[in-house]
Amino acid sequence: MIKKLDILILRSFAGPFFATFMIAIFVLTMQFFWLYIDDLVGKGLDPGTLAYLTGLVAVTWVPLALPLALLLSSIMTFGNLGETFELVAIKSAGIPLIRFMRPLLFLTVILSAVAFLFANNIIPVANLKLNALKYDIIVKKPAFDIKEGVFYDKIEGYVIKIGKKDEDDSTIHNVVIYERNYTLQDNFMVAESGVMRITPDQRFLEFELHNGWNYQESGNRYSTNTEYIRLGFKDYKKEFDLSSFKLNKTEDSLFKYDPKMLSIRQINKALDSLGDLGNKYYSRSVHDLANFEGFVKYRDSAWPASQIQPVKKIKNLAEVIPDSLKIQVFDRAFSSVSSTKSVAELASADFASKTDMVRKHWIEWHRKITLSFACVVMFIIGAPLGSIIRKGGLGSPLIFAIAFFVLFNMLNTFGEKFAKQGVTSVFTGMWLSSIVLMPIGIFLTYKAMKDSQLFNKEFYYRLIKRVGKKK
C-alpha cells in the first residue's frame, strides 16, 4: 500500500516536473538572447557557434530553473490529485499530508544536492566559457554586407560604394573605392562594372573590376610640388583582407579571476589570500602616514608625567612662530597635510575596492547554497498550495507559481543588491528570500493539514455574508 502510494505520487510528479523544467530553461534562455539581441544580430554567426552559445546559456540557468520547476510541478501534481479527489481518498485512509509528501520531499532534497554540485562544479566552467564567447561575439564586426548606394566602411582602411548589384549578388556596377593612404591624399578608384566574390578560404574579398580609373597623389603636403598619377585600366583585381570579420577565440584565463568562475574551494582559497583587511590596512596606513607626519611614531609612547614640562596655553599657533619662519612653516604644513590627505584617500579607495571584492566572493559562496536550498523552499510552498487550491493543469497553478517565483526573484535581487552595497550583511542579503518564504511554506503546510479553505472563494463569500447578518 505504502510503496504503491509512493509510486503513484512520483509518477504524477515526473511528467509535470520535466515539462516545467524544460519550459523554465527555454524562457530563461530566451531572456538572455533578448538582452543581447543587439550584439548578436548581423554578426553572421554560424549554427555551430549559436548552438554552443545556447547550450552554455541553458546550463547557467539550471540552478534557477530547478526551483521554478519544482514550485510549478508540485502545485500541478497536488492540484491534480485534489481535483480528481485522490487526495480525499488518501486522507480518508488515515494517511496525513506529510506522509504522501514524503517521497517528493526526499526527491527534492536529492535534486537540491544535485543543484549544489551543478552550481559548484559545472556552472563556474560554463560561466567562464560563456563570458569568453560573449566577449568574442560582442567585439566581432558585423557580417560582411555591402548594400547598393551606401558607403561601406567596415573594412579597415577602405570605403566602398557600389551603385548597383545584379540579381546574382555578385555582378556590380558603378564601383567607387577610397583607400586610406595616410600621406597627402587618399587613393581613389572608380570602375564601370566588375565581379565581387569571397575567396574559398573566406579570408579575402576579391573585386575583379572592368573599365575604370585609379587616381593617386603623393608628395609633401606643405609643398605645391606634388605628383599626380591617373591610371586607366580595362581589367583590375583588388583584394581586401577579411580576417577582422572572423570570430577570434579569447583565452578563458582572461576571465578566471571573477568570483562567478570559482567553486567554493577556490573561493575559500581566494578569501584566505585576501586575509584580514582591517589589520592589514591599519598597519599600512600607519606606515604610510609616518613618512609625512613625524608625531605618528610617538602615538604609543608612555612618557612619564613628571618629564612633561608645563607649557603656556596659547590661542593661536602663529604666536610662537617667528615672523621670519612663518611662510616656510605654513608652506611645509600645507604640503604635509596635502600629502597626508592624498595617502589617506588612496588607502581608503584601495580598502573599499578590496572590501567590495571580498563581499563579491562571499556573495558567490552563499549563492551556490541558497539556490540549492531554494528547491526545498519552493517545494514546501508548492505542495501544500496545490492541495489547498485543488486545481490541476496550467491555469491556477501557473498563476500562483508565477506570483511566488516573482516574489522569490525580487527578494533574491534586492538581497543581493543590499549585500553588494553593504546595506546588510552578505548572509542576510543572500538568504533573504529563504528567510521570508520559508515561514510562508510552513504556514501553507499547516493550513493544508487542517484542510483549510484559504483559497476557496465560497468560504470568503459565506464569511462576509455571515458578518453582514450580524451587523
117-161 confidence digits (pLDDT tens)? 888 888 888 888 888 787 777 655 555 567 788 888 777 778 888
Q: DSSP letters along 406-462, please?
A: HHHHHHHHHHHHHHHHTSS-HHHHHTHHHHHHHHHHHHHHHHHHTT--TT-HHHHHH
The whole-number pLDDT of residue 1 equals 47
The whole-number pLDDT of residue 51 equals 86
Buried-state track 89-112, b at ≥16 Cβ within 10 A, e below 16: ebbeeeeebeebbebbeebbeebb
Which tens digit of pLDDT belongs to each residue from 175-185? 888 887 766 67
Residue 70 CA, distance from chain mean position: 24
The answer for residues whose C-beta is within 8 angstroms of residue 208's C-beta and 6 or more apart is: 194, 195, 197, 235, 236, 237
Strands 171-179 and 187-198: antiparallel
Residues of the chain with pLDDT under 70: 1-2, 39, 41-44, 88, 138-145, 182-184, 202, 219-224, 243-257, 275-320, 326, 392-395, 451-471
DSSP state of 308: S
- The letter for the amino acid at 280 is K
| Consecutive H or E run containing 84 | none
Tell me how crowded residue 325 is: count the other CB atoms within 10 A of its CB.
Answer: 10
pTM of the complete model: 0.65
How many CA within 13 A on the CB side of residue 162? 20
The whole-number pLDDT of residue 298 equals 55
Give which of 18, 17, 55 is closest to 33, Cα–Cα. 55
Contact 364, 262 (CB under 8 A): yes
Alpha-carbon distance of 117 to 59, in angstroms, equals 13
The answer for residues whose C-beta is within 8 angstroms of residue 385's C-beta and 6 or more apart is: 74, 75, 78, 400, 404, 444, 448
250-254, Cβ contacts within 8 angstroms, sequence gap of 24 or more: 250/132, 250/135, 250/136, 251/132, 252/128, 252/129, 252/132, 254/132, 254/135
